[in-house]
Amino acid sequence: MAKRKFNLYFRPELVNEPITYVLVKDYDLRFNILRAEVVEQGGQLLIEVDGKPAQITKGVAYLQSMGVTVKELNEFVTKDESRCTNCGMCVSICPADAIEMDRKDWTVKFHLEKCIACGLCVSSCPPMAMKLQA
């Protein structure tokens, strides 16, 4: 079993397609919706997919065949260690508990695997150490 995160971008006409249902039913994938929004340009869905590696690949191919743009989320938010002052402003802002204050040495630890790429830490970081990659 593997866990991967994907950002899915839909055109407006795809918003009504039950694609997540197909992912579960036909590809046996479990997924967790981390973020969802619909705007004029279409929809965006951030999902974490849990399943057999081969099935994930097939599921992604299915999504692409439906016209969904799929981008895997590897490093969406990055922490520039040379700018971080370890103040901890971002810690209480992060809705995913991906940022933590290490109380042994008082440094800020960023757990990328928990990050949902919401970007809230980016605008709240005083020394601008947290950056959003396009």
Partner 1 sequence: MKRTYEEINAKIEKGDAVVMTAEEAIQLVESQGVEKATKEVDVVTTGTFGAMCSSGAFINFGHSEPPIKMQKVWLNNVPAYTGLAAVDAYIGATELRDGDGMEYGGAHVIESLVRGEAVHLRASAYGTDCYPRRDIDTYISLKSVNQAYMFNPRNAYQNYGVATNSSEKAMFTYMGKLLPHYGNATYCSAGQLSPLLKDPKLRTIGIGTRIFLGGGIGYVAWEGTQFKTSVPERNGVPSSAGRNLAVIGDLRGMSDEFLRALNFHGYGPSLGVGIGVPIPILDEDLMRSASVRDDQIYAPVLDYAIQSRNRKPMMEVNYAQLRSGTVELFGKKVKTSSLSSYFKARMIAERLKSMIMKNEFQLTEAVVPLPTSREQRPLDVCSKEEVL
| Site residues, partner 1 (CB under 8 A) | 83, 85-93, 101, 103, 105-107, 120, 123-124, 126-128
Nearest approach, Cβ of residue 85 and partner 1 (Å): 5
Those residues whose C-beta lies under 8 Å from the C-beta of residue 39, and which sit 6 or more positions away, are: none
Cβ closest to partner 1, residue 16 vs residue 92 = 92
Those residues whose C-beta lies under 8 Å from the C-beta of residue 77, and which sit 6 or more positions away, are: 110, 112, 115, 117, 119, 121, 122, 130, 131, 132, 133
Phi, then psi, of 10 in degrees rounded to 5: -110, 145
Nearest approach, Cβ of residue 76 and partner 1 (Å): 19
Nearest approach, Cβ of residue 112 and partner 1 (Å): 20
- Name the residue with tokens 């971008």: 9
Nearest approach, Cβ of residue 111 and partner 1 (Å): 15
Tokens linked to 109: 């630890």
Cβ closest to partner 1, residue 22 vs residue 101 = 101
Cβ closest to partner 1, residue 70 vs residue 101 = 101
Q: Give DSSP secondary structure letters for 20-34.
A: HHHHHHHH--EEEEE
Cβ closest to partner 1, residue 69 vs residue 107 = 107
